[in-house]
């Protein structure tokens, strides 16, 4: 299956309920439909008391075994049959009911029918205590498995579903507490200290500090200024803030992230798909082998003891139960998705956890991915006799009349300059001219000075960075270089990729000289500049044709064609972009390039644990199956081995949920 097919596969393809009766089956929690995560309405975990029938059966079993082995006493038939039958029904009524309902749909090859057959068979040959023990311990194992899956689901839900159910809105000048679903766009909400922001909006207050850990995985406080975006899920840290709502409750970034994580658990990995197919073939094979174990010896042994070989066949059925595989594998992927989410990385499918383990080349956009995407003044150079502060002050006064990002960089660098410009005129494609005080100022590119016959040093034309050239009263005065800043952890991210043996490539629409400078500073293997979107596609296609497995990291919007072409599309800063969440396969919410390797590590950890579980389960089952067929293992050992493997797999998966990424 190619990546686009995986991406578009709807969970209903795997989880469609064929009838209302089938839906009812899922209410019993033993259908192992644990590979889809429902975050919308998740019931609380069941208490111990809700399992009183199973616990009662366990107590009855202990009492009967104590009487038999401790006091050498066993009730006569039919009293012992009656007592053990009560315990059997208390422990297994769910399993027996599920087996019956599935049998009515001619579905006989499942673990419920398998366990029912094995335990009823044990009763038929008088092995009452063993039959009860198999059902009791199997049901206890199911209970633990369901509890582990529920915990994995709750850990993801608790991490993300932090939307408050009440919000204070200002209506007719008065604060009113309402459900956030009732809030409309453009209304003003009030968020007190310690409260969670309920809806996306724009900060109306002058400033506010927020904890964004639930959205980005980073607990560092983030200070927002008036007019800046604030998102649902952030926690107000310092003072009452007022926010103008920009989207409805259901359309908030957090709501979209919740939907994405829910969908992620429905998109199965290749390993999950394989095990699902394997289980469908494995179970009928086991039934067939059990029949052969029971009847084939008739032709080879003399005398043939039906009771003995029937018992061995029952052992064979019990140990062959595939529940450890069926539960532990989706549980492993839940753990991986949860670990990634806690670190600000959102996978849109468990299939992409596997994809990230096979990546050989990471292709990155420059602006907004490796650099901050914010222009800042890098250097101010003046001729003798011109003060740098004065040059910046005069240039900023002129640039205040422009909305260009370069102009904003100069104005921000000058900070609170009180100088004012008059008669400012913009020369399209060249720059600005105007008057500051009694001085005529020209500020723009070199073409502006050429246009007005103002001479300047030739070195200006050879500068790599964006340059604002300044002339005062018709004479060249100096220049200001402006460049996009490299992110603090970009170099570390590249080094981490190289340690993992991953080749790094940078693609950018910026001029080649700028791209080369950034690539050299970061240690990137290959860098291409002056690229249009189709040029980026061609470069990525060439890498794929060479047999590379590609992860493309960009903004997920402008680079949509490349994201679609890559094996895994990773979006940086997806928190602020609806389009990014829709386009990318993996969203890194806090803009940090170092999270790219964190995503790869999560994939590797998850795959390692999943395959450990598969190996352990298969090895133990094959050994005990052989021992059971040979008459060495009994029903007690079979059920303990089966439940033990399942619990061992669960404990192995729990390790993922407790791990911390650097």
Active site residues: 365
Q: How far apart are CA 658 and CA 610, in angstroms?
A: 16
Beta-carbon contacts of 225 under 8 Å, excluding residues fewer than 6 positions away, are: 203, 206, 207
Q: Report the Cα–Cα distance between both ends of the chain, in Å, rounded.
A: 33
660: exposed, middle or buried (C-beta count within 10 Å: 0-12, 13-18, 19+)?
exposed
Q: How far apart are CA 135 and CA 629, in angstroms?
A: 20
Contact between 295 and 634 (Cβ < 8 Å): no
Contact between 484 and 393 (Cβ < 8 Å): no
**Which sign does the torsion angle of CA 620, 621, 625, 631 carry?**
positive
Which contacts qualify for 495-499: CB closer than 8 Å, 24 or more apart?
Answer: 495/523, 496/594, 496/597, 497/362, 497/596, 497/597, 498/523
- Torsion angle of the four alpha carbons 304, 639, 114, 118, in this order, in degrees rounded to the nearest 10: 40
CA distances (Å), origin 359, targets 349, 352, 603 = 16, 11, 10
Length of the chain: 662
Radius of gyration over alpha carbons of the chain, in Å?
A: 34
From start to end of 108-265, where are the E strands?
A: 167-171, 174-178, 188-191, 201-203, 207-211, 222-225, 229-230, 235-236, 241-245
Can you spell out the DSSP letters for 421-485?
Answer: EEEEEEETTTEEEEEETTEEEEEE-HHHHHHTT----GGGGG-SSEEEEEEETTEEEEEEEEEEE
What is the three-class DSSP state of 235? strand
Q: How far apart are CA 311 and CA 307, in angstroms?
A: 6
* Residue 448: how many other CB atoms lie within 10 Å: 21
CA distances (Å), origin 174, targets 189, 193, 195, 200, 203 = 11, 19, 19, 21, 19
Q: How far apart are CA 138 and CA 120, in angstroms?
A: 14
What is the three-class DSSP state of 589? coil
Beta-carbon contacts of 428 under 8 Å, excluding residues fewer than 6 positions away, are: none
């Amino acid at each position: 299956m190619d990546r686009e097919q995986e991406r578009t596969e709807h969970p209903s393809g795997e989880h469609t309920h064929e009838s209302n009766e089938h839906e009812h089956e899922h209410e019993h929690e033993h259908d192992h439909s644990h590979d889809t995560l429902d975050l919308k309405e998740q019931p609380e975990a069941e208490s111990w008391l809700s399992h009183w029938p199973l616990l009662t059966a366990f107590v009855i079993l202990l009492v009967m075994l104590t009487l038999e082995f401790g006091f050498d006493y066993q009730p006569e038939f039919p009293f012992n049959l009656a007592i053990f039958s009560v315990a059997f029904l208390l422990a297994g009524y769910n399993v027996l009911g599920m087996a019956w309902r599935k049998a009515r749909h001619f579905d006989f090859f499942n673990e419920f029918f398998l366990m029912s057959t094995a335990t009823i068979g044990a009763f038929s040959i008088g092995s009452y205590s063993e039959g009860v023990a198999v059902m009791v311990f199997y049901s206890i194992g199911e209970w633990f498995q369901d509890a582990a899956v529920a915990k994995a689901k709750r850990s993801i839900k608790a991490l993300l579903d932090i939307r408050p159910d009440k919000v204070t809105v200002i209506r007719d000048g008065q604060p009113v507490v309402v459900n956030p679903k009732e809030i409309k766009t453009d209304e003003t909400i009030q968020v007190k200290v310690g409260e969670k922001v309920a809806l996306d909006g724009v900060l109306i207050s002058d400033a506010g500090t927020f904890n964004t850990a639930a959205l980005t995985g980073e607990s560092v406080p983030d200070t927002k200024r008036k007019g800046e975006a604030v998102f649902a899920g952030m926690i107000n840290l310092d003072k009452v803030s007022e926010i103008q709502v920009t989207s409805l409750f259901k359309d908030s970034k957090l709501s979209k992230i919740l939907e994405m994580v829910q969908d992620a658990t429905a998109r199965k990995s290749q390993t999950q798909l394989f095990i699902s197919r394997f289980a469908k073939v494995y179970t009928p094979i086991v039934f067939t082998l059990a029949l052969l174990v029971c009847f084939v010896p008739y032709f080879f042994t003399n005398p043939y003891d039906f009771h003995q070989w029937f018992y061995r066949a029952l052992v064979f059925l019990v140990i062959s139960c595939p529940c450890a595989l069926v539960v532990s594998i989706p549980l492993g992927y839940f753990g991986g998705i949860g670990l990634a989410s806690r670190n600000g990385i959102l996978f849109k499918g468990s299939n992409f956890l596997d994809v990230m383990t096979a990546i050989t080349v990471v292709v990155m956009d420059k602006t907004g991915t490796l650099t901050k995407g914010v222009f800042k003044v890098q250097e101010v150079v003046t001729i003798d006799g011109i003060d740098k502060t004065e040059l910046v002050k005069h240039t900023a006064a002129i640039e205040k009349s422009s909305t260009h990002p370069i102009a904003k960089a100069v104005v921000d660098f000058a900070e609170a300059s009180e100088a004012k410009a008059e008669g400012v005129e913009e020369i399209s494609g060249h720059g600005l001219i105007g008057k500051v005080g009694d001085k005529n100022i020209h500020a723009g590119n070199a073409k502006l000075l050429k246009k007005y016959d103002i001479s300047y040093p030739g070195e200006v034309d050879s500068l790599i960075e964006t340059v604002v050239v300044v002339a005062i009263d018709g004479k060249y005065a100096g220049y200001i270089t402006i460049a996009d800043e490299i992110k603090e952890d970009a170099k570390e991210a590249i080094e981490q990729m190289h340690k993992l043996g991953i080749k790094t490539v940078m693609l950018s629409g910026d001029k080649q000289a700028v791209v080369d400078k950034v690539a050299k500073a970061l240690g990137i293997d290959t860098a291409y500049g002056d690229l249009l979107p189709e040029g980026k596609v061609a470069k990525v296609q060439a890498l794929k044709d060479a047999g590379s497995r590609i992860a493309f990291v960009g903004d997920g919007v402008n680079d949509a064609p490349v994201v679609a072409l890559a094996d895994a599309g990773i979006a940086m800063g997806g928190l602020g972009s609806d389009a990014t969440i829709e386009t990318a396969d993996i969203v890194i919410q806090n803009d940090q390039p170092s999270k790219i390797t964190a995503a790869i590590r999560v994939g590797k950890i998850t795959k390692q644990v999943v395959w450990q579980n598969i190996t352990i389960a298969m090895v133990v089952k094959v050994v005990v199956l052989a021992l059971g067929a040979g008459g060495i293992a009994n029903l007690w050992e079979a059920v303990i081995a089966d439940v033990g493997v399942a619990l061992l797999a669960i404990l192995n998966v729990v390790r993922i949920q407790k791990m911390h990424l650097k």
